[in-house]
């Protein structure tokens, strides 16, 4: 099995990056590699999946702390009831390369611990549940493992959210569960299935911006249409385009409401609307007639 790349390297940020820097790096790279902008490009599809996975972990402070301690084994450590910092307090084994994020004190080096390494350290056949049981008490460790569901963010695209979709999540131990994401569900919604609490995250969309149930899209409008009125077309979230009229003397930045073209209501109510934001395009290069007309206008 190919080794998972370090999540910080995937996003191109240092291990000291702030949450804002992590989110900014993800948005920039996600726009570049989004499948909708790279149709049929398997490399971009794989890269986008890798970016989403890294962002899901590093954007959550608790998961990021476990990842810093346990590397690619963070999910198994979480299922065993571990908390960020447990390993350092128990003796400093775990984590990925580099020192801790703390201040002064003795230099401590961390390394990624594979399951084989754990067997060498704690005996053949030792799993994370047994390891944390031996460190923190068998009763406490195993009870927490049984009581606590695995928490995992799942990232979906805006177009998937229009129709509803599903994600398959692999739980520690190899069991797979399917999470159904209802159409129009809000970002941050927690979806529960046995053994899992999945938090919905929304991937940036290169065309549409979500505002509740409503959508906003920028629409280029030629100058002569903005001045004299006319018909233009805008993309829709369900695919294809919709034509609508721009009134005469429409200012740049005007939002035109297109009813019912937003996201569905997950509770069964009416769908949201789409707002077409007018982006007036100047005629470049201008012909001589337009140039004379512009020169005659009062300043």
Distance CA 246, CA 234 (A): 12
- % residues pLDDT > 70 (the chain): 77
pLDDT tens-digit series, residues 14-25: 999 998 899 889
What pLDDT does residue 28 have? 87
Asked if residue 290 has pLDDT above 80, the reply is: no
The DSSP bridge partners found for residue 232 are 244
CB 251 within 8 A of CB 278: yes
Asked if residue 105 has pLDDT above 90, the reply is: no
pLDDT band at 43 (very low <50, low <70, confident <90, very high): confident
pLDDT band at 3 (very low <50, low <70, confident <90, very high): low
Asked if residue 231 has pLDDT above 80, the reply is: yes
Distance CA 72, CA 190 (A): 24
pLDDT band at 89 (very low <50, low <70, confident <90, very high): low
54-68, 70-84, 117-131, 212-226 — which is least confidently predicted? 117-131
Q: What is the pTM of this model?
A: 0.50
What pLDDT does residue 119 have? 46
204 Cα distance to chain centroid: 7
Higher pLDDT, 54 or 82: 54
What pLDDT does residue 266 have? 87
What pLDDT does residue 87 have? 65
Exposure string of 151-166, with b = 16+ CB inside 10 Å and e = fewer, is bbbbbbbbbbbbeebe
Angle between helices 42-58 and 19-33 (to 10 degrees): 160
What pLDDT does residue 261 have? 96
Distance CA 92, CA 107 (A): 11
257 Cα distance to chain centroid: 28
Please name each of the domains of the chain with its CATH number: 7-147 (1.10.287.110), 150-202 (2.60.260.20), 208-289 (2.60.260.20)
pLDDT tens-digit series, residues 146-202: 445 788 899 999 999 999 999 998 888 788 889 999 999 999 999 998 889 999 999
pLDDT band at 299 (very low <50, low <70, confident <90, very high): low
Mean pLDDT of 112-119: 47
Mean pLDDT of 205-212: 92
pLDDT band at 81 (very low <50, low <70, confident <90, very high): confident
What pLDDT does residue 88 have? 59
- % residues pLDDT > 90 (the chain): 38
What pLDDT does residue 90 have? 53
Q: Mean pLDDT score of the chain, rounded to an integer?
A: 79
Mean pLDDT of 223-234: 93
Gyration radius of the chain over CA positions: 26
Higher pLDDT, 66 or 292: 66
């Amino acid at each position: 099995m190919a080794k998972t790349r370090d999540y910080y390297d995937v996003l191109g940020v240092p291990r000291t990056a702030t949450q804002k820097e992590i989110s900014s790096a993800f948005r920039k790279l996600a726009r570049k590699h989004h499948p909708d902008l790279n149709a049929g490009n398997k490399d971009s599809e794989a890269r986008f999946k890798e970016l989403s996975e890294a962002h899901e972990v590093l954007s959550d402070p608790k998961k990021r702390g476990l990842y810093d301690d346990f590397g690619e084994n963070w999910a198994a450590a979480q299922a065993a009831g571990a908390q960020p910092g447990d390993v350092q307090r128990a003796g400093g084994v775990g984590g990925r390369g580099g020192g801790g994020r703390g201040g002064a004190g003795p230099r401590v080096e961390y390394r990624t611990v594979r399951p084989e390494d754990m067997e060498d350290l704690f005996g053949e056949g030792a799993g994370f549940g047994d390891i944390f049981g031996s460190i923190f008490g068998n009763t406490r460790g195993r009870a927490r493992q049984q009581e606590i569901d695995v928490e995992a963010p799942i990232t979906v695209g805006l177009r998937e959210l229009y129709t509803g979709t599903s994600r398959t999540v692999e739980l520690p131990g190899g069991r797979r569960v399917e999470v159904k994401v209802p159409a129009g569900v809000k970002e941050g919604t927690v979806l529960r299935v046995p053994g899992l609490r999945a938090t919905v995250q929304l991937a940036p969309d290169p065309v549409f911006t979500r505002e509740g149930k409503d959508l906003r899209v920028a629409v280029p409008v030629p100058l002569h249409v903005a001045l004299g009125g006319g018909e233009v077309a805008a993309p829709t979230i369900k695919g294809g385009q919709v034509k609508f009229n721009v009134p005469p003397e429409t200012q740049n930045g005007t939002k035109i409401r297109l009813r019912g073209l937003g996201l569905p209501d997950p509770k069964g109510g009416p769908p949201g609307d789409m707002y077409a934001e007018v982006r007036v395009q100047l005629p470049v290069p201008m012909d001589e007639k337009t140039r004379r007309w512009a020169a005659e206008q009062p300043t």
